[in-house]
Amino acid sequence: MHWGADCHGTGGGPLLALHGVSYRYLDRFPALDDVSLAVHPQEKVALLGANGSGKSTLLKVLDGLVFPDDGVYEAFGAKVTEANLEDEQFNRGFRSRIGFVFQNSDAQVFSPTVREEIAFGPLNMGLTPAEVEARVADTLEMLDIADLADRAPYQLSGGQKKRVAIASVLVMNPEVLLFDEPTAALDPRTAEWLMDLIVDLNRAGKTIVLATHDLDILDVLADRCVVFSEDHRIAAEGSPGDVLADRALLESVNLVARRRAGERPCRAL
Amino acid sequence: MHIPDGYLSPSTCAVFYGASVPVWVTAGRRVKKVVKSRYVPLVAIGAAYSFLVMMFNVPIPDGTTAHAVGAVLIAVLLGPWAAVIAVSIALLIQALFFGDGGVLAYGANVFNMAVVMPFVGYGVYRALVHRNHALTSPRRPLGAAVGAYVGLNVAALCTAVEFGLQPELFHTANGTPLYAPFHLSQTIPAMAFAHLVVAGVVEAVLTAGVITYLQKANRPVLQINQEMTPDWEIEAAPRRLGWRWALIGLGVMAGLTPLGLIAPGGAFGESAPADLDLGRYHLDAVPSGLRHYAGFWHNALFNGYDFSKDKHPAVGYLVSAVVGMLVIALVVAVVFKLVGRALRRRESEPAATVVDVRARSGARPSSATPRWLLEAEVGLCPCGCIGKRRKGSFVEKTLNGGAGVLRQAMFSDDTAARPGLLQRIDPRVKLASLLGLLITAALVRNIPVLVAMYAATLGLAAASRLPVGFFVRRVWLFIPIFTGVVVLPATFSFVTHGHIVVPLGSWFGHRVGLTSQGLHSAGLMVIRVATSISLVVLLTLTTPWTKLLAALRSLFVPRMFILVLGMAYRYLFHLLGSVTDMYTARKARMVGAETDVASGRAFVAAGAGALFGKAQALSEEVHMAMVARGYTGDVRGLSRFRLRAVDGAWSLACLLAAVLVIGGDHALGR
């Protein structure tokens, strides 16, 4: 299997681009307010923000699961709209080039067995059963879960479910991988494994966008950080070093607690 | 209300399968058409929810428990067609994977609980609650409660009629009933009483409780059906009809139900025989059974109604039906009055009961910790020495049942992995042969033949390396509880007329005792039920459920149903976990022991509501996860079955066994 970078159609510009995007849940509760963002090929971008600041919604917009109320989203040089995704050709192209690993593995692992779970995506892409089987076998091997292939998801631990969820996305060989809180609720060893995997995938040419509020992983997992404020706007952008050094910024977006007078920081940033 | 195998004749079962197929087809089409792909996870969650609701046992005064079905609730929330699929799938999981309700009788169970109940209940609801009524209107839970109550009772009435017709239609020359032995005049009052007084109330309270909870806590869930089936009213529901008319229509419908059951052309006439493809399911006996049916009805119709000797249960049925409907009407009226009064009283009180937790806790992060939190609570001692203790409440028992479901599923996975005879057979072949053997068992009329069949299932269990002791226990533990209690009274001359072999005295000049026909019938029924359950348990214990699912797919079930079925099973365990968590969280916050049954009941209703909210949120997320991987509404699958010699040999052996059994049965006389 080869995981080569393959970004045609963008002419050297960004892979994904948001222009002034706003989104409101149920037309009432704002989740994104005038957000503009560009993601370039083979970049690692981290979306930072407190709970409820709009990171997850942004990932859903990037994956074409919800559509902006205002503004434009372009991926691989084409506009992504609900109407465009109705087109089968466009849908297949778009879905196979962007993969999304959800925060809640229980939502993502819905098939009766691990094997069927991993086969779900490639079958929808229209590969033949023989091709699908070969790919599924490779993916199981790669993520070291071949022994789980015929197990049912309810028998799996949280870490195993995460591996299956990732396998079910990787098997489609997407160019862009979106991760929502990748290391949340994982034990340290599994978290470490996942971070290594993300770095390896990036080296193999994948573009990575991840949402997190875990500041410890940024040095490894991000080339660039995008910080969201609690009013659902982008507050700052920069390298992990710059962002982590800006204590006032992190306090203003409620990512770290304000220090009380006379108290010493309990955690060195 | 779950009918096990052995209670209904194979021809009755075939009729109900025939009646259910067009409903499934329509439901599948509608659900697929209405809101494309988004519906699938939602229906799956509905099915898992219905399964769980059937597990929520609620105590009733006489010490036993009753459970709701949830069909009307799902119909109100997701639409009646979605309810058809959701409850059908919940019933299928119960029948195939947990041995609750028969496989042959599945069609009848679907008809009662997944077709009649949601449609009747939803019809009543729609008659009472207009679309323009606000989502928070108290009419909604009220209407849903009335709909649930009526729906469940009409479903129970159907069940009673199905049982009650069996001894009339299927008996030997000397009057020995071949299947369920009770007459309409006995089944209807029995079922009507239990459901009018107990189960109907439980269903109504649960339904109203969930809707009320959703009105307070999760309003978008209430909008699902409104948004998804906008054309429903135009197509099927009567417009601008008062609830009086709905009840009258309902009465007529209920009265006509047995007609539908009996009419020979009914269900089969509605769908083309080619579509039904009955030969594939080994249902060659159907036409003769139907002729039987038809013949019976003509006799009953033209021989006149013999009121004096109480020979004709049709009279008993009609009288019971009228009484039943009157009671329903009365109860509905009383419930209306009471609930209406209660609501009025509620409205006049200040609404101080609802506490917005978020508003209290979230907004003030820097506020000082209240003093009381820093002090130890006086008078409460962690050792539990204050106050009295009581053993687990009914809620806890229900949850233990949930743990049992999990254990059972794990156990089945273990036994299915053992190297044994049946584990080696292709699941498709196993499923088809099981259906064939079930029908064979249902056709047999001699006890020795059935005993031989039962012995053969024990042999198969041993050959498949199943723990035979467990196998026997699982089957016979079920039988005394349900079938035994049901069948015992049928041995008396009151129920089954005939030759008295064990006289027990006299009653107003008549000899009373156990009749030979009654004893024979009871024996026949017990051994038939035992054999049928053994066959299903053999299938369940030797086949991993994922393979069973795949077998269903490759046999005859559309992929959309399989997808929903698979997801429903999957989410069953997830939701079961949520239920346990919710209960544990409540228990952790409770002071003292659970002494108050009413608060337990309130927890069940609110818990069921919260569960639905959680389930719905999960289904949204699942749908997104599916769409993210290219799902557009078509289901594709990997087919990896290949038939081998051992499968051919097994099929041949089953065929031979069936021929031998039927031949032997004929040789012994019918």
Q: Does B106 touch chain A (CB under 8 A)?
A: no
Q: Is there a contact between B127 and B242 (Cβ–Cβ < 8 Å)?
A: yes
Domain A16-252 has CATH 3.40.50.300: yes
How far does B638 lie from chain A, in Å, by closest CA?
6
B581: chain A residues, CB-CB within 8 Å: none
**Binning pLDDT at 50, 70 and 90, where does residue A185 land?**
confident
Among B545, B574, B636, the residue with its CB nearest the CB of A123 is: B636
Are the beta carbons of B566 and A111 separated by less than 8 Å? yes
Number of residues that make up chain A: 269
Q: Taking CB atoms and an 8 Å limit, are B628 and A95 in contact across chains? A: yes
ipTM for the predicted complex comes to 0.85
Residue of B nearest to A25 (CA): B220
Predicted confidence (pLDDT) per residue in B632-651, tens digit: 766 666 666 677 888 888 88
Q: Which ranges of chain A does DSSP label H, i.e. alpha helix? A: 55-62, 82-86, 88-97, 105-108, 114-125, 129-142, 158-170, 188-203, 218-221, 240-245, 247-252
pLDDT band at B56 (very low <50, low <70, confident <90, very high): low
Mean per-residue pLDDT, B196-204: 82
Residue B454 lies in a domain: yes
Task: Pick the range with the lowest mean pLDDT from A153-162, B403-412, B451-460, B563-572.
Answer: B403-412
- Confidence at B459, pLDDT banded by 50, 70, 90: very high
Residue B631 near chain A (CB below 8 Å): yes
Contact B546 A150 (CB under 8 A): yes
Q: In this complex, which of B544, B567, B630 lies closest to A121 when CB atoms are compared? A: B630
- Of residues B278 and B378, more confidently modeled: B378
State which residue of chain A sits closest to B546, comparing Cα positions: A112
Lowest mean pLDDT among A81-85, B55-59, B245-249, B600-604: B245-249
Q: Which band of pLDDT confidence, cut at 50, 70 and 90, is reported for residue B520?
A: confident
> Residues of A with CB below 8 A from B637's CB?
116, 123
**Distance (Å, whole) CA B6 – CA A115:** 38
The listed range with the strongest mean pLDDT (A17-21, B465-469, B561-565) is A17-21
Q: Residue A27 has what DSSP assignment? A: T
Of A99, A107, A133, the CB nearest to B622: A107
Q: What is the mean pLDDT of residues B365-369?
A: 51
B-chain CB neighbours of A209 within 8 Å are none
Residue extents of the structural domains in chain A: 16-252
Mean pLDDT of B345-352: 46
Q: Is residue B652 part of a domain?
A: yes
Helix (H) or strand (E) holding B470: helix B468-479
Q: How confident is the model at residue B250 (pLDDT cuts 50, 70, 90)?
A: very low
The whole-angstrom separation of Cα B638 and Cα A112 is 12
Among chain B residues, the shortest Cα distance to A26 is held by B220
Across the interface, whether the CB atoms of A102 and B624 are under 8 A apart is answered yes
- Nearest CA-CA partner of A14 in A34, A35, A43, A56: A43
- Taking an 8 Å Cβ-Cβ cutoff, which residues of chain A contact chain B? 26, 60, 63, 65, 88, 91-92, 95-96, 98-100, 102, 104, 106-108, 110-113, 115-116, 119-121, 123-125, 129, 132-133, 150, 152-155, 168-169, 172
Looking at the complex, does the CB of residue B221 fall below 8 Å from at least one CB of chain A?
Answer: no
Look at residues A61, A109, A166, A114 and name the one whose alpha carbon lies nearest to residue B618. A109
Overall average pLDDT of the B319-343 stretch: 52
Q: At residue B387, does pLDDT exceed 70?
A: no
Contacts of B193 (CB under 8 A, 6+ apart): none
Please list every residue in chain A whose beta carbon sits closer than 8 Å to the beta carbon of residue B559. Answer: none
Write out chain A residues lying below 8 Å of B413, CB-based. Answer: 152, 155
Q: Is B624 on the interface with A (CB under 8 A)?
A: yes
| Mutation target vs A (from B638, B639, B641; most A CBs, 10 A cutoff) | B638
Is the minimum CB–CB distance between B566 and chain A shorter than 8 Å? yes
Going B416 to B421 to B424 to B426, the CA torsion angle's sign is negative
Helix axes B468-479, B516-542, angle to 10 degrees: 140
B26: pLDDT strictly greater than 50: yes
| pLDDT for res B253 | 45
Pick the more confident residue, B48 or A166: A166
Closest by CA to A166, choosing from A185, A182, A147, is: A182
Tell whether B342 is covered by a domain.
no
* Chain B: residue whose CA lies nearest to A174: B629
Of the partner residues A112, A132, A172, the one whose CB lies closest to the CB of residue B566: A112
- Most confident range (mean pLDDT) of B247-251, B264-268, B428-432 is B428-432
Tokens of A154: 């309810």
Q: Averaged over B614-618, what is the pLDDT?
A: 74
Which two tokens mark B588? 């952790």
pLDDT value, residue A199: 94
List of chain A residues whose C-beta atoms are within 8 Å of the C-beta of residue B569: 112
Residue B503 lies in a domain: yes
Domain count, chain B: 1
Domain residue limits at B486? 426-544+645-667
Nearest beta carbon to residue B570 from set A88, A124, A154: A154
Q: Output the pLDDT for position B631.
A: 80
Alpha-carbon Rg for chain B, nearest whole angstrom, is 26
Whether residue B518 lies inside any domain: the answer is yes
**Strand runs labelled E in B138-288:** none
Q: Are B227 and B234 in contact (CB under 8 A)?
A: no
The pLDDT, as a whole number, for residue B214 is: 79
The answer to whether B464 and B421 are in contact (CB under 8 A) is yes
B636 found inside a domain: no
Residue A227 three-state SS: strand
Is residue A171 pLDDT above 80, yes or no?
yes
Is the pLDDT reported for residue B249 higher than 70? no
Nearest-CB residue to B628 (from A100, A123, A129): A100
Residue of B nearest to A259 (CA): B366
pLDDT of residue B324: 47
Nearest neighbour of B630 by CB, restricted to A96, A112, A133: A96
